[in-house]
Structure 1
Amino acid sequence: MTGNEQIKSMFYGRSGYRDLPMSCDLYWWHEGLAHENKLPEEIREKPIFDIHRMIGSIPWHKLDCVNIIYDQSVKIDVQTKMNGIIRDVRTTITTPAGSLTGRYTRSETLGHRDMIEQYVKTPDDLKIAQYLWDAFERIEPATGPVEAAEKMIGEQGVIWLCGIRNPLNVFFRELVGFEQFIFLLSDYPAIVRRLFDTIERATVEMARAVAAAGWKSWLVMLADCIDASLMSPPIFKEFCIPHYQRIIDILHAGGKKVIIHTDGYIRPLLDLLPQTHADGIEAVTPKPQGDVTLEEVRDALPEQMTVWGGIPSSILAEGMPDDEEFADFITRTAVYAKANQKIILGIGDMAVPSEMVWNRLKLIHSVLHKVNGQA
């Protein structure tokens, strides 16, 4: 089976396929070590897809597949500066109601995006944000980039269609941040809820655009970084579940499968995640990095939900734990995962750390070979 078929079988049924697939993100690890000229010699000149094959990992490629178009009253100015490997991006949004400015930095080798300056700094800024989202005109599917990605990866891997985000995540990551969201929700509930509903109307249109697009790509990833330390069960029930049900039902009607990015603490949310209508969760990060075990996640979720993850990235660093303990953990995890339905083995937070030892990824491959009866 091709890589795409292997991943697809974990969502549509195995159809006789019994091997345990592994799929993890090597991009930022590769970029970081390449920038520092520290890539192991045996892979220094190899394309990243070849490196995936060397460790038995099915590659995936994610991209934002929708663009928001505002009416002509909205002007957006983006200024970018480079400070070494750090990209510093300042965006000013000008509307007839006033202006908003936000700023983030991103490491060119680690991929982490840090919001340095939130767009909404005062309660009055909420009115400007409301104007901005009221000025949303239409959604344009990013057909050119998606089709180029499909051509690039072919059947050897899978495309993750991204860009549809929970309005709560927009508040947390861009508009106000977690702490200020809670304060503003308490002090100005009507204003905050109106803005939430307006943003959600745009995300519903995004889902409709993706559902109607005639792409081969079939997997939508909702990159909302679910973490119970930020989203308590009451917050998740009120602001996440109805939203997910709405957009996931639209995507299902368009023939898409949907996964939610759950790279944080999820134990308090395990009973709620099935209510989202999602087909699976990915970036599942077990102990000691997360707050659950792979077994606890699999047991808590219904059989039809796919679990993607299972290896905490923290144990890939040299000496954390030692090689023998590492091999034992990977073996136990792989044996369990293969014996259970709909588990795709992957690095928990899907971003392999730069300090990771190359030999540990090869060891994972060796263990999978044995567990899958290929050696």
Structure 2
Amino acid sequence: MMTYRERMLATLEGRPTDCIPFVPRLDLWYRANKYKGTLPDKYKNATLMQIVEDLDIGVHTVSADRSLYDDSLDIVDRALGIWRVHHKPHRPALKNIRRNITYQGDTTIVEYLTPHGNIRTKTVYDESMRKAGISLSHVSEHAIKSVDDFEAVGYIFENMDVYADYEGMERQKEEIGDRALLVGTANMGASAMHYIIHELMPYDLFFCEYYDNYDELVRLAERITPYFNKVVDIAANSPADIIQSGTNYDASITWPPFFEKHIMPNMIETADKLHAKGKFMLNHTDGENKGLLQYYVQGKLDIADSICPAPMTSQTLREIREAFDGKITIWGGIPSVSVLENSMSDYEFESYLDDLFLQMGKGDHLILSIADTAPPEMKFSRLERIARLAKEFGPVNS
């Protein structure tokens, strides 16, 4: 019998496997239910790894636990898209910039003092987020409020050192053993322009600035690009098997012409760097992907993580697999609503699964997971059911 590491690697390379690997993301589900004391009775005192081993499923390593930091200062720059946690391969450090940090209950306010003006951000991490298992704070005030902030934000990123930090990843690799491939996160944006829309500005403001101050926005992206590239280079030399570089696309936000112009060229450049180091490139593609799938293929993407088909988006799993044509591995495929009793009855769940497994065809280039993540209210028996069906699917590509 293959180990999960062997099974996942063979899936990515299009080689035979003994079954479809089921590698669901359970960190939010576990944290939420552990915090509330609502884990299944059998697992009341179990670690997440013990649950995974008992279920005989793979370990999901795409989303690092953002609570694994050494000092509160490691997460104060979260509104700049920077948090320094154990499982990230890089560690950014500000230079030539002073910070004023204020805490007001669950809110953290950071003011960055630069020669070109001050930038203020606010992040919130409250009780509702803790109960939901969320480990990443919410940005309630973004760094950029108008074009007037571009110069100061550009200065901040031009004065950012980036250091390799592989110790936490080495420990994680030992912890997961043969139950997973190790994923390291580079940038949440797939390009500097995508980084701006994803991390530094509210969506509505970005759209306005894109049309009103396009040249200035392009210049800001150019100033952020050296930082972006440093992060990719460090990740490429890390112990990870897979590097995540780009998250949260959606046809209405990263619309197709924008994606083709401002994201895809950088995807290709990043993919070439990672492939030269023997690593796979993963993007977190959890939104409405209609009109974008062709660019994932052209962008040399290896893994489309958190692919979420109908009924949560407009495309079926079959349509997405046909568009990828064996060139991209789907990590996901099961919409989170299907494991919620208030969304599907047991009968509807079974019927949906029957149809979904037919859409998988021969099952190649598929790592099953609940997209985006197993929700805290998941009916646990449905997770167990999916795990059994994945094993019963039988050999793939044999």
Q: Given the two structures, how large is their TM-score scaled by the length of structure 1?
A: 0.90
Q: Which runs of 4+ in 1 moved over 4 A?
A: 77-83
Show the counterpart of 1:22: 22
| Amino acid paired to 2:121 | G
Q: Residues 115 and 173 of structure 1 are in contact (CA less than 8 Å); yes or no, is this contact kept in structure 2?
A: no
Unaligned runs of 5+ in 2: 65-86
Which residue identity lines up with residue 21 of structure 2 in the other structure? P
- Deviation of residue 239 (structure 1)? 0.9
- Structure number with the bigger relative contact order (C-alpha 8 A, sep ≥ 6) is 2
Instruction: State the partner residue of 1:132.
Output: 156
Matches within 5 A, 1:25-104: 25-61=25-61, 62=64, 63-71=87-95, 73-80=96-103, 83=106, 88-104=107-123
Q: Equivalent residue of 2:111, what SS? A: strand
Asked whether the 8 Å contact 1:200–1:243 carries over to 2, the reply is no
Separation in structure 2 between the aligned mates of residue 241 and residue 219 of structure 1, nearest angstrom: 19
Instruction: After superposition, give the CA deviation of every residue in 1:26-79 in whole Å (9 maximum; x if it has no partner).
Output: 1111111121111110111222112223434201223322122333x1234555
Query: 1:66 is matched by which residue type in structure 2?
Result: H
Match of 2:199 in 1: 174
Q: Write the distance in 1 (CA, Å) between the matches of 2:386 and 2:94.
A: 47
Distance 1:53 1:335 in 2: 28
Secondary structure of 1:259's counterpart equals strand
Quote the residue 2:244 is aligned against.
Answer: 221
**Residue aligning to 1:273:** 296
Q: Secondary structure at the match of 2:184?
A: strand
| 1:290 lines up with 2:340 in the alignment | no
Q: Is the 8 A contact 2:26 2:60 kept in 1?
A: no
Residue type of the alignment partner of 2:374: V
Assess, with a 3 A threshold, how the Cα gap between structure 1 residues 370 and 155 changes in structure 2: closer, same or farther. Answer: closer
Deviations 1:123-156 (A, max 9, x none): 21111011112223x3212211111211221222
Per the alignment, do residues 77 and 24 of structure 1 end up closer, same or farther by CA in structure 2, a change over 3 Å counting?
Answer: farther
Contact 2:332 2:368 in 1 (8 A): yes
Q: Counterpart of 1:123?
A: 147
Amino acid at match of 1:321: M
**Paired amino acid for 2:124:** T
Distance in 1, matches of 2:104 and 2:48, equals 28
Q: CA deviation at 1:263?
A: 0.5
| 1:358 alignment partner in structure 2 | 380
Structure 1's unaligned 5+ residue stretches are none
Q: Secondary structure at the match of 2:294?
A: coil
Q: Please say which of residues 32-41 and 55-64 is displaced more in the overlay.
A: 55-64
Could you tell me how far apart the structure 1 residues matched to 2:236 and 2:319 are? Answer: 33
1:329/1:144 CA distance change after superposition, 3 Å: same
User: In structure 2, do the counterparts of structure 1 residues 252 and 75 end up closer, same or farther at CA, with 3 Å as the change threshold?
Assistant: farther
Change (3 A) 1:54 1:9: same
Going from structure 1 to structure 2, the CA distance change for 1:80 and 1:17 (only over 3 Å counts) comes to farther
- How many residues get paired? 363
> What is the SS of the residue equivalent to 1:69?
strand
Q: Distance in 1 between matches of 2:19 and 2:199?
A: 41
- Please state how far the C-alpha of 1:11 moved relative to its aligned partner: 1.4
CA distance in 1, matches of 2:158, 2:283: 27
Q: Which of 357, 368, 372 is the aligned partner of 1:345?
A: 368
Aligned-partner residue type, residue 10 of structure 1 = T
Q: 1:319 to 1:179 in 2, by over 3 A?
A: closer
Give percent identity, aligned residues only.
22
TM-score, structure 2 normalization: 0.85
Q: 20-29 vs 140-149, which deviates more? A: 140-149
- The secondary structure found in structure 2 opposite 1:5 is helix
Change (3 A) 1:77 1:242: farther
More displaced 10-residue stretch of structure 1: 257-266 or 322-331? 322-331
What is the root-mean-square deviation in Å for CA atoms of aligned residues?
2.0
**Pair 1:58–1:341, CA change in 2 (3 A):** same
CA distance 1:120–1:173, change in 2 (3 Å): same
